[in-house]
Structure 1
């Protein structure tokens, strides 16, 4: 980027320890967190909402530096019609690390994850857990087919009033719904059922696709080693 006369704005340093994506694989589950944040993401441990708001403002400022010219130098393309990562400085970096530069292609890990999830969704035990959870929720008031529908309700995801970069505060109805959501999951052993069913499917998929999955792991290990040499 420097050779082309540009500087790509670096990502901000992560505030606190990043939360695992698995925390919400089956929806909200923390009874204490939902009483405060509803369906909103709770801050990482030790991070305040004020710090998160400042981080959001700094990220917005960073993105203003990503002009069309700078972005084209980085990606090697103009506009947003293609997601190919073969051009520009990003493409050169991926090639140097031995990583795939075709943005649309899914590797074996992505495909295995998708297959496991789809098979779980179609499984009778998972469907029964959804039905039990939904019936429990109906008694509490809200009607949703499954926990993801509840978490994705557009009513929870409007912009914050005042400062649009500030984390949105959960309202009373959202909190009440999220609290009921967690209680109903506990009543029907929702997480335990889904996790056991999905794990069984994942283990089968891993066994069938062991060679392809191992190739992906080795690719990333090699990329990390190459990155270490580049940075040092």
Structure 2
């Protein structure tokens, strides 16, 4: 399960204003974003990434450009291309900073909620990503990994890579840079991971984690860390079991008792600010790359 692999290192969150968690969940909420204001958190590094709305527009533009490229190879489109899965899975995570509410735990345990696909994809009866009828070679034409197909040269990094370069045209740090765009994207994710590593090594975090362990012991559970609680192989099932739900609920109650989210978020914000100061010039280049992509995508989408 993706969450168990990431645990508290899942430190990316929605791009929203503010840097603290608001208290309280409305009655009947299931603990997912949109139902609980505590999950609407932000961090300084968010300012260098596109918003959810911008990513949706970018996805539409990349899909159109990728499928137009595939037509040159007589390949049927691969439906809704998800160009930012590495961002979507983090920025849209229902458990920011590894936190989840009691309401969430009672419904999903440590599992993720069911995925909702975009309307145009649902209408096609297809999941996001490659069609199930696409061959491995066709997928490589779309996403990279093959140099030639049907006697024609395949763009570097596939049709998706060509689409991304098209959207980056006009940016000082765009496709003309010797550094690849994926390198720039990954650099920011590296900074986020670095911020998390510094935060979980902070004495304030370690003290909070010890209080969490004590709380869990009082409920009959013995775990060295929250990762250990979430990474139980017994949870590797299609749906959360009653035992998993009980464990996750105790976990959520203890997180609230020791102010897990508030303490961790303050550390993340502090370390983000340090990293922004240390990497300001490069982060600005990354921001300009995304801003250019967004402008070009908006032009493409609005132009039909």
CA distance in 2 between counterparts of 1:21 and 1:229 reads: 25
Matched residue, 1:176:
246
Q: 2:233 aligns with which of 148, 154, 165?
A: 154
Identify if the C-alpha distance between structure 1 residues 66 and 138 changes in structure 2 by more than 3 Å, giving closer, same or farther: farther
- 2:78 matches 1:9: yes
Contact 1:97/1:227 (CA < 8 Å) preserved in 2?
yes
- Alignment deviations for residues 173-209 of structure 1 (CA, whole Å, 9 cap, x no partner): 1111011001111221111111111211111111222
Task: Output the TM-score relative to the length of structure 1.
Answer: 0.75
Higher mean C-alpha displacement, 192-201 vs 87-96: 87-96
- 2:267 matches 1:201: no
Contact 1:8/1:74 (CA < 8 Å) preserved in 2?
no
Three-state SS of the structure 1 residue aligned to 2:97 is: coil
**Cα distance, 1:222 vs structure 2:** 0.3
CA distance in 2 between counterparts of 1:90 and 1:181 reads: 41
Matched residue, 1:31:
102
Matched residue, 1:92:
162
Long gaps (5+) in structure 1: 48-53, 80-84, 159-167
Q: Which runs of 4+ in 1 moved over 3 A?
A: 18-23, 60-63, 99-108
**Cα distance, 1:20 vs structure 2:** 5.4
Q: 2:198 aligns with which of 119, 128, 148?
A: 119
CA distance in 1 between counterparts of 2:225 and 2:299 reads: 47
Task: Output the TM-score relative to the length of structure 2.
Answer: 0.59
Higher mean C-alpha displacement, 194-203 vs 148-157: 148-157
Matched residue, 2:57:
none
Matched residue, 2:258:
188
Contact 1:137/1:181 (CA < 8 Å) preserved in 2?
yes
Three-state SS of the structure 2 residue aligned to 1:64 is: coil
Contact 2:99/2:261 (CA < 8 Å) preserved in 1?
no
**Cα distance, 1:103 vs structure 2:** 4.2
Long gaps (5+) in structure 2: 1-69, 83-88, 117-121, 148-154, 169-173
Q: 1:41 aligns with which of 112, 117, 132?
A: 112
Matched residue, 2:4:
none
CA distance in 1 between counterparts of 2:90 and 2:183 reads: 26
Three-state SS of the structure 2 residue aligned to 1:142 is: coil
Matched residue, 2:299:
229
Three-state SS of the structure 2 residue aligned to 1:26 is: helix
- 2:298 matches 1:219: no
Higher mean C-alpha displacement, 149-158 vs 175-184: 149-158
State the superposition RMSD in angstroms: 3.1
